[in-house]
Amino acid sequence: MQFALNEDQIAVRDMALAFAAEKIAPHALRWDEEKHFPVDVMREAATLGMGGIYIREDVGGSAMTRFDAALIFEALATGCPTTSAFISIHNMASWMIDAFGSDTQRQKWLPKLCTMELIASYCLTEPGAGSDAAALRTRAVRDGDTYVLNGQKQFISGAGGTDLLVAMVRTGGDGPGGISTLVIDGNTPGVSFGANERKMGWNAQPTRAVMFENARVPVTNRLGEEGIGFKIAMAGLDGGRLNITACSLGGAQTALDKARAYMKERKAFGKRLDEFQALQFRLADMAIELEAARTFLWRAAAALDRKDPDATMLCAMAKRFGTDVGFEVANHALQLHGGYGYLSEYGIEKIVRDLRVHQILEGTNEIMRLIVARKLIEGAR
């Protein structure tokens, strides 16, 4: 196990921290208020290798580790969790092409995905299939050299503002064995998008439904064989869960830092807030929980890198623990600000709103418990 970063990892983290401080943080509140999708800034991040963090080098990727990615996404999230989370989703969708696509497919899409000239969305959830993803109903019927798609995806990050949709669709019978993965051009006739959802947080990235109405997609756009789409989707989610945990910790760290600074300035009953022992203990607990979650994240990322048999369980554990901790730390930071924490100009309420959804997406935290429980029960047999 690794409990200290080496020089290369420190350099990667510091690069992402500097980018977040200069290019993201000064604009995060405005992006949230205006519901602005900062594609230009994300493309700047891609010039530093953050558009294809763990994509192979032959197609322009950075070929870094999941551990490196955790450092990067936490650092970016100190500027804006929403922006960092979308770059994570783009990386997850791109990795699925890199890991399961043919060389022709990789060469076709990944060079432009790594520069974020093309931007990708991940399409799994449907109106009637959220936690029970294997029940998805979007149907792809083969007709010669194409699939004809009909159905709808829901809660798709970036939809309407991205170029490619990496979508899980049903090409066979019921259950996970009937699901395949298609890479779909967002401009394909028969593909349409719903209105940008009005959300509690994550306003700096659009979230829309994606509708397929007799949309024709070439069979050559399928990743791997028919029937392995659910496996592809779940493999992508292991890393996605680490990334969203990292985004939670980055946002929470900023909230904690803001609370520390505020407590040095604000006085009550003739004393600074940081002189009250009860509030000192609250601050200490926040820091302890955050560091515990970070250590857990690093362990899970290292396990995924080495393909540990328990990696999926550890990713689920880290996601459940880290996203819960991230939200609670941010919420406590708001409380320490008192009424000022509720005002948008202090930036705390945005972090609270942004981090709340992390306990739901990439698999709800209830599903994380289910994954862990199943692994424990299977191991006991």
pLDDT at 7: 93
What is the DSSP track for 95-117? HHHHHHS-HHHHHHHHHHHHTTS
Selection from 18, 9, 20 nearest residue 53 by Cα: 9
Ramachandran region, residue 123 (left: φ > 0; alpha: ψ -120 to 50; beta: rest):
beta
Cβ 123 vs Cβ 167: under 8 Å: yes
Cβ 252 vs Cβ 77: under 8 Å: no
Q: Give the residue ranges of DSSP H helices in the chain.
A: 7-19, 28-34, 39-47, 66-77, 81-100, 103-114, 229-265, 277-305, 311-336, 348-356, 365-380
Secondary structure class of 338 (helix, strand, coil)? helix
Q: Name every residue whose Cβ is closer than 8 Å to that of residue 107 and which is 6 or more positions away in sequence.
A: 59
Q: 311-336 and 229-265 are packed helices; what angle lies between their axes, rounded to 10 degrees?
A: 30
| DSSP conformation class of 131 | S
pLDDT at 100: 97
pLDDT at 3: 74
pLDDT at 131: 83
The tokens of 59 are what? 């197609």
CA–CA separation, 78 vs 57, rounded Å? 28
**CA–centroid distance for 350 within its chain:** 17
Cβ 236 vs Cβ 362: under 8 Å: no
Active-site residue, from 197, 328, 362, 366: 362
CA–CA separation, 346 vs 341, rounded Å? 6
Q: Name every residue whose Cβ is closer than 8 Å to that of residue 264 and which is 6 or more positions away in sequence.
A: 272, 273, 274
Per-residue CA distances from 24 to 82, 97, 250, 259, 348 (Å): 10, 28, 13, 20, 16
| DSSP conformation class of 129 | B
CA–CA separation, 276 vs 268, rounded Å? 10
Any idea what the Cα angle at residue 89 is, between residues 85 and 93, rounded to 5°? Answer: 170
Cβ 333 vs Cβ 348: under 8 Å: yes
CA–CA separation, 249 vs 255, rounded Å? 10
Cβ 279 vs Cβ 323: under 8 Å: no
CA–CA separation, 124 vs 230, rounded Å? 9
Is residue 362 among the annotated active site residues? yes
Q: What is the model's pTM? A: 0.95
Write out the chain's pLDDT in tens, 381 residues. Answer: 467 899 999 999 999 999 999 999 999 999 999 999 999 999 999 999 999 999 999 999 999 999 999 999 999 999 999 999 999 999 999 999 999 999 999 999 999 999 999 999 999 999 988 888 889 999 999 999 999 999 999 999 999 999 999 999 999 999 999 999 999 999 999 999 999 999 999 999 999 999 999 999 999 999 999 999 999 999 999 999 999 999 999 999 999 999 999 999 999 999 999 999 999 999 999 999 999 999 999 999 999 999 999 999 999 999 999 999 999 999 999 999 999 999 999 999 999 999 999 999 999 999 999 999 999 998 765
pLDDT at 381: 55
The tokens of 376 are what? 């424990």
